Amino acid sequence: MDKTISSNNPDLGLLPNKKPASMQAKKRRDKIFAYSILAWPLLHFLVFWLAMNVGTIWLSFNYGNSTVSYFNGLKNYENVLKVLTGQVESGINNHHSLWNTLSLIPLSLCINLPITLLFSFAIFRKIKGWRAYQIVLFIPAMISATVLCMSFKIFVDGEGSVLKKFLQSINLEKVIPPEGWFGNAKTAWPIMLIFSVWTGISTNIIYFGSSMSRVSDGVIESAQLDGASEIRIFAQIVLPMIWPTICTMSISIISSCFAWYMPSLLMSPTNANTTSLGLIIVATTKNAGANIGDAAALGVLIGIFGTIVIVTLRKLINRFAEEVEY
């Protein structure tokens, strides 16, 4: 008996077709994988952005500390505005916090950013001394902020500070304030700004260096064949081609200015002239008897004001320069 199944055998259509089932199982596994990958960022957004911001807004309308809590209306916003305008001042809660924070923005954009771009280009093009730039400027990026702050304070202030010994060696010890650089109301914040310039360059060099490495060697070699100098290559080729990175980093820099507090907390915690908006929030939340609602209201105002500044800056940047794709 012939056991060969004929192509026109009517029973052939009764054989199970496993291909569609296997494809459906594969699609199901792909969906489970995709959803599992998206679950963590979605959970992170819901907890650390949505819930945190909604909670902050709610707290801003309440008075609360370790013992009592009740609805306070707009009183917290009134208290914060009085502090920022100098009508009410107590310790680090003073009008210096607003102006100190605002002064960080032009410092970061007009001094830190250009210096960072120049050193990033020097390292990218391996201009003479580029290895020394790497060592000196990458050190703050590899050391924790706490260690940096304490090292800088020891270097600048104190009886045995390096800066004091250097000034004494050139007979300029009279310029040192009797109460120290960080204890003097006129010198404390300028010294803090010098520290922020040094530390603000290091981390951004990594981002700009990575962006510059994407610039085609052929484009630069073509410009060199036409007689372009390094300055012209930097200004007319590299900067336009990394413009999206510059825009992104500018926004990130402004955002970090509003959260700036670590140097003031570690190097000059008792000097009211070196306070910042971020320091007020941190100090208020750490104080068990303080009104958490004031810190929440300040955080909401910072968010609103910061958004306005960032959106305005973004429009100005896009107005004067166009993004280049390469």
Domain ranges of the chain: 72-320
pLDDT value at residue 231: 92
Q: Which residues pair with 234 in a beta bridge?
A: none
Kindly report the CATH class assigned to 72-320: mainly alpha
pLDDT value at residue 60: 94
Walk along the chain (326 residues) and give the pLDDT tens digit of each residue. Answer: 444 444 455 544 444 555 577 888 888 888 899 899 999 999 999 999 999 999 999 999 999 887 888 999 999 999 999 999 999 988 889 999 999 999 999 999 999 999 999 999 998 998 888 888 777 777 777 788 888 888 888 888 877 788 888 888 898 888 888 888 888 888 999 999 998 888 888 778 888 988 898 888 888 999 999 888 999 999 989 998 898 888 888 888 888 899 899 899 888 887 889 999 999 999 888 888 889 999 999 999 999 998 998 888 888 877 776 666 65
Distance CA 267, CA 292 (A): 25
Angle 226-231-233 (CA atoms, 0-180°, nearest 5)? 50
* pLDDT tens by residue, 288-303: 888 999 999 999 999 9
pLDDT value at residue 154: 87
- Phi, psi at residue 143, to the nearest 5°? -110, 145
pLDDT value at residue 6: 47
